[in-house]
Protein backbone atom coordinates (compact mmCIF):
# COMPACT_ATOMS: atom_id res chain seq x y z
CA UNK A 1 0.00 0.00 0.00
CA UNK A 2 1.42 3.40 -0.99
CA UNK A 3 2.28 5.86 1.78
CA UNK A 4 -0.08 8.83 1.83
CA UNK A 5 0.45 10.22 5.35
CA UNK A 6 3.61 10.88 7.34
CA UNK A 7 3.41 11.59 11.06
CA UNK A 8 6.41 13.09 12.82
CA UNK A 9 7.55 13.30 16.43
CA UNK A 10 8.48 16.75 17.78
CA UNK A 11 11.31 16.48 20.32
CA UNK A 12 14.65 15.09 19.13
CA UNK A 13 13.22 14.52 15.67
CA UNK A 14 12.26 18.02 14.50
CA UNK A 15 13.79 20.03 17.35
CA UNK A 16 16.80 19.24 19.53
CA UNK A 17 16.98 19.96 23.25
CA UNK A 18 19.53 22.77 23.20
CA UNK A 19 18.92 25.64 25.61
CA UNK A 20 17.89 23.36 28.47
CA UNK A 21 20.09 25.06 31.08
CA UNK A 22 18.85 28.50 30.05
CA UNK A 23 15.23 27.33 30.23
CA UNK A 24 15.85 25.92 33.70
CA UNK A 25 17.30 29.26 34.85
CA UNK A 26 14.30 31.08 33.40
CA UNK A 27 11.95 28.77 35.32
CA UNK A 28 13.97 29.31 38.49
CA UNK A 29 13.63 33.10 38.12
CA UNK A 30 9.87 32.74 37.56
CA UNK A 31 9.60 30.53 40.63
CA UNK A 32 11.56 32.94 42.84
CA UNK A 33 9.34 35.80 41.72
CA UNK A 34 6.22 33.83 42.60
CA UNK A 35 7.32 32.63 46.05
CA UNK A 36 8.54 36.11 46.97
CA UNK A 37 4.85 36.87 47.48
CA UNK A 38 4.97 34.64 50.54
CA UNK A 39 8.26 35.93 51.89
CA UNK A 40 9.78 32.47 51.42
CA UNK A 41 13.30 31.91 50.16
CA UNK A 42 14.62 28.81 48.43
CA UNK A 43 18.05 27.77 47.30
CA UNK A 44 18.67 26.82 43.69
CA UNK A 45 19.42 23.28 44.92
CA UNK A 46 15.90 23.03 46.39
CA UNK A 47 14.42 24.14 43.08
CA UNK A 48 16.53 21.70 41.05
CA UNK A 49 15.63 18.81 43.33
CA UNK A 50 11.93 19.62 43.00
CA UNK A 51 12.27 19.83 39.21
CA UNK A 52 14.00 16.44 39.22
CA UNK A 53 11.20 14.90 41.26
CA UNK A 54 8.62 16.49 38.97
CA UNK A 55 10.21 14.81 35.96
CA UNK A 56 10.28 11.50 37.83
CA UNK A 57 6.58 11.94 38.56
CA UNK A 58 5.97 12.81 34.91
CA UNK A 59 7.98 9.86 33.56
CA UNK A 60 6.22 7.37 35.83
CA UNK A 61 2.81 8.41 34.51
CA UNK A 62 4.06 8.71 30.92
CA UNK A 63 5.54 5.21 30.91
CA UNK A 64 2.84 3.40 32.90
CA UNK A 65 -0.42 5.19 32.10
CA UNK A 66 0.14 6.25 28.46
CA UNK A 67 -0.69 9.84 29.21
CA UNK A 68 1.30 12.92 30.13
CA UNK A 69 0.43 15.10 33.12
CA UNK A 70 -0.88 18.50 32.09
CA UNK A 71 1.41 21.52 32.58
CA UNK A 72 -0.76 22.55 35.53
CA UNK A 73 -0.61 19.07 37.06
CA UNK A 74 3.19 19.01 36.80
CA UNK A 75 3.49 22.49 38.28
CA UNK A 76 1.09 21.52 41.06
CA UNK A 77 3.20 18.49 41.92
CA UNK A 78 6.31 20.68 41.93
CA UNK A 79 4.62 23.26 44.18
CA UNK A 80 3.35 20.71 46.66
CA UNK A 81 6.73 18.96 46.74
CA UNK A 82 8.20 22.14 48.21
CA UNK A 83 5.43 22.32 50.84
CA UNK A 84 4.29 25.75 49.71
CA UNK A 85 0.89 27.19 50.67
CA UNK A 86 -1.56 25.97 48.05
CA UNK A 87 -2.49 28.78 45.68
CA UNK A 88 -4.25 27.91 42.43
CA UNK A 89 -3.35 31.25 40.82
CA UNK A 90 0.34 30.92 41.66
CA UNK A 91 0.47 27.36 40.33
CA UNK A 92 -1.30 28.45 37.13
CA UNK A 93 1.16 31.32 36.67
CA UNK A 94 4.08 29.00 37.26
CA UNK A 95 2.78 26.39 34.81
CA UNK A 96 2.49 29.08 32.13
CA UNK A 97 5.99 30.40 32.80
CA UNK A 98 7.45 26.90 32.82
CA UNK A 99 5.79 26.21 29.47
CA UNK A 100 6.76 29.51 27.84
CA UNK A 101 10.42 28.98 28.69
CA UNK A 102 11.00 27.27 25.34
CA UNK A 103 9.81 30.40 23.53
CA UNK A 104 12.29 32.54 25.47
CA UNK A 105 15.21 30.12 25.13
CA UNK A 106 14.35 28.18 22.02
CA UNK A 107 15.71 24.77 21.03
CA UNK A 108 17.13 24.46 17.51
CA UNK A 109 15.64 22.86 14.46
CA UNK A 110 17.63 19.75 13.61
CA UNK A 111 19.74 20.13 10.47
CA UNK A 112 17.83 19.50 7.28
CA UNK A 113 14.35 19.58 8.80
CA UNK A 114 12.96 22.62 7.01
CA UNK A 115 14.28 21.61 3.60
CA UNK A 116 13.02 18.05 4.02
CA UNK A 117 9.54 19.12 5.15
CA UNK A 118 9.22 21.35 2.12
CA UNK A 119 9.92 18.35 -0.14
CA UNK A 120 7.70 15.91 1.77
CA UNK A 121 4.82 18.38 1.84
CA UNK A 122 4.64 18.21 -1.95
CA UNK A 123 3.75 14.51 -1.97
CA UNK A 124 2.34 13.59 1.46
CA UNK A 125 -0.05 14.80 4.11
CA UNK A 126 1.98 15.66 7.21
CA UNK A 127 0.91 15.55 10.86
CA UNK A 128 2.58 15.91 14.25
CA UNK A 129 2.26 13.16 16.88
CA UNK A 130 4.00 14.38 20.02
CA UNK A 131 4.04 13.85 23.76
CA UNK A 132 4.21 17.09 25.74
CA UNK A 133 5.81 18.04 29.05
CA UNK A 134 5.92 21.48 30.69
CA UNK A 135 5.19 23.05 27.29
CA UNK A 136 1.69 22.30 25.92
CA UNK A 137 0.70 21.88 22.31
CA UNK A 138 -0.26 25.56 22.00
CA UNK A 139 3.31 26.57 22.85
CA UNK A 140 4.85 23.94 20.57
CA UNK A 141 2.73 25.26 17.70
CA UNK A 142 4.08 28.75 18.40
CA UNK A 143 7.65 27.41 18.32
CA UNK A 144 6.95 25.79 14.96
CA UNK A 145 5.50 29.06 13.69
CA UNK A 146 8.55 30.96 14.91
CA UNK A 147 10.71 28.59 12.86
CA UNK A 148 8.49 28.79 9.76
CA UNK A 149 7.60 25.08 9.58
CA UNK A 150 4.03 25.01 10.88
CA UNK A 151 2.66 25.59 7.38
CA UNK A 152 3.87 22.14 6.30
CA UNK A 153 1.52 20.38 8.76
CA UNK A 154 -2.21 19.93 8.40
CA UNK A 155 -3.04 18.46 11.79
CA UNK A 156 -1.58 17.81 15.24
CA UNK A 157 -1.85 15.21 17.98
CA UNK A 158 -0.38 16.56 21.21
CA UNK A 159 -0.76 14.43 24.34
CA UNK A 160 -2.05 17.29 26.51
CA UNK A 161 -4.89 17.73 24.00
CA UNK A 162 -5.75 14.11 23.18
CA UNK A 163 -5.42 12.83 26.76
CA UNK A 164 -3.12 9.99 25.70
CA UNK A 165 0.57 9.60 24.92
CA UNK A 166 2.43 7.29 22.57
CA UNK A 167 2.30 4.31 22.12
CA UNK A 168 -1.49 4.56 22.66
CA UNK A 169 -3.24 4.01 19.31
CA UNK A 170 -5.32 7.18 19.75
CA UNK A 171 -2.16 9.31 19.60
CA UNK A 172 -1.63 8.20 15.99
CA UNK A 173 -5.24 7.64 14.97
CA UNK A 174 -6.14 11.22 15.88
CA UNK A 175 -4.12 12.31 12.86
CA UNK A 176 -5.02 9.40 10.58
CA UNK A 177 -8.75 9.82 11.21
CA UNK A 178 -8.60 13.50 10.37
CA UNK A 179 -6.88 12.61 7.10
CA UNK A 180 -9.27 9.74 6.43
CA UNK A 181 -6.30 7.36 6.13
CA UNK A 182 -5.61 3.81 7.28
CA UNK A 183 -2.51 2.83 9.28
CA UNK A 184 -1.13 0.86 6.32
CA UNK A 185 -1.14 4.10 4.33
CA UNK A 186 0.96 5.93 6.90
CA UNK A 187 4.54 6.19 8.16
CA UNK A 188 5.80 7.58 11.46
CA UNK A 189 9.20 9.17 12.14
CA UNK A 190 10.41 9.36 15.74
CA UNK A 191 13.34 8.68 18.03
CA UNK A 192 12.06 6.52 20.92
CA UNK A 193 11.64 2.80 20.33
CA UNK A 194 9.11 2.19 23.13
CA UNK A 195 6.75 5.00 22.15
CA UNK A 196 7.27 6.16 18.58
CA UNK A 197 8.30 2.93 16.90
CA UNK A 198 6.35 0.32 18.85
CA UNK A 199 3.22 2.46 18.84
CA UNK A 200 3.31 2.97 15.08
CA UNK A 201 4.28 -0.58 14.15
CA UNK A 202 1.70 -2.27 16.39
CA UNK A 203 -0.95 -0.14 14.72
CA UNK A 204 0.16 -1.28 11.27
CA UNK A 205 2.10 1.81 10.20
CA UNK A 206 5.57 1.92 8.72
CA UNK A 207 8.20 3.53 10.95
CA UNK A 208 11.62 5.16 10.73
CA UNK A 209 13.67 5.50 13.91
CA UNK A 210 15.57 8.79 13.89
CA UNK A 211 19.00 8.69 15.52
CA UNK A 212 20.31 12.07 14.43
CA UNK A 213 19.94 14.03 17.66
CA UNK A 214 22.04 13.32 20.74
CA UNK A 215 21.51 16.65 22.55
CA UNK A 216 19.01 15.39 25.10
CA UNK A 217 20.60 13.83 28.18
CA UNK A 218 17.28 12.42 29.40
CA UNK A 219 16.48 10.53 26.20
CA UNK A 220 16.13 6.82 27.03
CA UNK A 221 19.01 4.74 25.75
CA UNK A 222 18.25 3.50 22.27
CA UNK A 223 18.31 -0.29 22.17
CA UNK A 224 20.39 -1.74 19.39
CA UNK A 225 17.45 -3.80 18.18
CA UNK A 226 14.55 -1.99 16.56
CA UNK A 227 11.32 -3.09 14.92
CA UNK A 228 11.39 0.02 12.72
CA UNK A 229 11.42 -0.46 8.96
CA UNK A 230 14.60 1.64 8.82
CA UNK A 231 16.86 3.93 10.86
CA UNK A 232 18.22 7.32 9.86
CA UNK A 233 21.14 9.38 11.15
CA UNK A 234 19.99 12.57 9.42
CA UNK A 235 17.09 14.03 7.45
CA UNK A 236 18.72 13.46 4.07
CA UNK A 237 18.67 9.74 4.87
CA UNK A 238 14.99 9.98 5.78
CA UNK A 239 14.11 11.32 2.33
CA UNK A 240 16.00 8.48 0.65
CA UNK A 241 14.37 5.86 2.89
CA UNK A 242 10.87 7.15 2.20
CA UNK A 243 11.50 7.00 -1.54
CA UNK A 244 12.36 3.31 -1.16
CA UNK A 245 9.47 2.48 1.18
CA UNK A 246 6.82 4.01 -1.08
Domain ranges for the chain? 5-18+107-245, 20-104
Query: How far is the C-alpha of 116 from the C-alpha of 14, rounded, in Å?
Result: 11
- Burial (CB count <10 Å: 0-12, 13-18, 19+), residue 238: buried
Predicted confidence (pLDDT) at residue 59 exceeds the cutoff of 70? yes
Q: What percentage of the chain has pLDDT greater than the value 90?
A: 85
Give phi and psi for 15, each to the nearest 5: -115, 145
First to last CA, the chain: 8
Least confident of 71-85, 133-147, 217-231: 217-231
- Segment 149-206, tens digit of pLDDT: 999 999 999 999 999 999 999 999 999 999 999 999 999 999 999 999 999 999 999 9
Q: Which CATH class is domain 5-18+107-245?
A: alpha beta
**DSSP tag of 219:** S
Query: How far is the C-alpha of 228 from the C-alpha of 216, rounded, in Å?
Result: 21
Query: How far is the C-alpha of 34 from the C-alpha of 30, rounded, in Å?
Result: 6
**pLDDT at residue number 225:** 85
Instruction: Provide the whole-model pTM.
Output: 0.93
Query: How far is the C-alpha of 80 from the C-alpha of 73, rounded, in Å?
Result: 11
Q: Are 158 and 132 in contact (CB under 8 A)?
A: yes
- Burial (CB count <10 Å: 0-12, 13-18, 19+), residue 161: middle
Amino acid sequence: MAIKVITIDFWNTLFDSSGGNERNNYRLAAFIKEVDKYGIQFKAEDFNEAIKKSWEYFNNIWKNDMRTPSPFESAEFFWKNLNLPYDNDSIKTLSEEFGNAILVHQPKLINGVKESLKILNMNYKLGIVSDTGFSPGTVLRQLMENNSIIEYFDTFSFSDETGVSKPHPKAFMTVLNLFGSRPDEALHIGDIEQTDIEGAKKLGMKAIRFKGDTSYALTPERPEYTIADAEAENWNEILKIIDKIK
